[in-house]
Amino acid sequence: MTENLLLAFGLTLMAGLATGIGSILAFFTSTTNTKFLSFALGFSAGVMIYVSMVEIFVKAQDALVSAMGVKLGNWITVAGFFGGMLLIAMIDKLIPKQGNPHEIKKVEEMSGPVKDLKDPALLKMGTFTALAIAIHNFPEGIATFTSALHDPGLGIAIAVAIAIHNIPEGIAVSVPVYFATGDRKKAFKLSFLSGLSEPLGAVVAFLFLMPYLNDVMFGIIFSAVAGIMIFISLDELLPAAKKYEEAHSSIYGVIGGMAVMALSLLLFI
């Protein structure tokens, strides 16, 4: 149990701090590898969609049906699934437009003389973007932590998928903050801090959900996690992959992500 806890916290921390990788890419590369990023985001979406519908939703359903009976168990599973979607949709709705983390940024935007930068109007946008990403990462942290706690293999897959999708979010924070201040360290710091809400979500899950983690609570959390991950895939990952699109790299990524996830699940049967 202790080993699973440490793994769950470690995976959540790794996934959250991937925003820092995006920030580092923005500072130390001169161009955005759009084909790779499109494929990677599609891959992340493929992993999330497949594992949500084939594994997480089914496990939630089994737990709830076992604890509450066939009819009520199925109803609660579906309610939890759409409840998770509603939660993340409400979070999106409450975030100001100028802080929308879905706005794609490219590394090329970091180029140019520093004297042409320092636009204070962008500092607000960068700060709102960091806040928006932090809010998004919180339920993702709960999802990663609870999944890893129940099934380490599943937790690893989810953590990798979330880490991939956090990389462009790190770029989205760094670019406007750098333009606003001309300070790379400040841009990296804000990007790094926005990812810390993911392990914070894990801590909250540990403190407030663990004491009540019976079959019913587990089933409700897992069904909500499935809904959250499907929403993130459809609302964030696939549109972002399309914006970076070159040829059909994003859909190849989706198929590849599903295939890898399917193979890994088969190997653990």
C-alpha 105: how far from its chain's center? 17
Q: How many residues does the chain have?
A: 269
C-beta of residue 174 within 8 angstroms of C-beta of residue 109:
no
Q: Is 166 labelled as part of a ligand binding site?
A: yes
Considering only 31-35, 179-183, 195-199, which range has the smallest mean pLDDT? 31-35
- Say which amino acid occupies 194: S
- The 10s digit of each residue's pLDDT in 74-125 is 999 999 999 999 988 887 777 655 444 444 555 555 454 444 445 565 677 6
Considering only 152-161, 198-207, 226-235, which range has the smallest mean pLDDT? 152-161
Contacts of 119 (CB under 8 A, 6+ apart): 179, 180
Q: Which two tokens stand for residue 108?
A: 């090329």
Rounded to the nearest 10°, the torsion over CA 262, 254, 38, 81 is: -90
C-beta of residue 76 within 8 angstroms of C-beta of residue 68:
yes
C-alpha 106: how far from its chain's center? 19
What pLDDT score does 113 carry? 47
Q: Is 245 labelled as part of a ligand binding site?
A: no
Separation CA 5–CA 184 (nearest Å): 35
Separation CA 242–CA 251 (nearest Å): 9
C-beta of residue 98 within 8 angstroms of C-beta of residue 125:
yes
Q: Is 248 labelled as part of a ligand binding site?
A: no
Burial 50-85 (b: 16+ CB within 10 A, else e): bbbeebbbebbbebbbebbeeeebeebbbbbbeebb
Q: Is 198 labelled as part of a ligand binding site?
A: yes
C-beta of residue 150 within 8 angstroms of C-beta of residue 218:
yes
Mean pLDDT of 49-75: 93
Q: Which two tokens stand for residue 56?
A: 């997480």
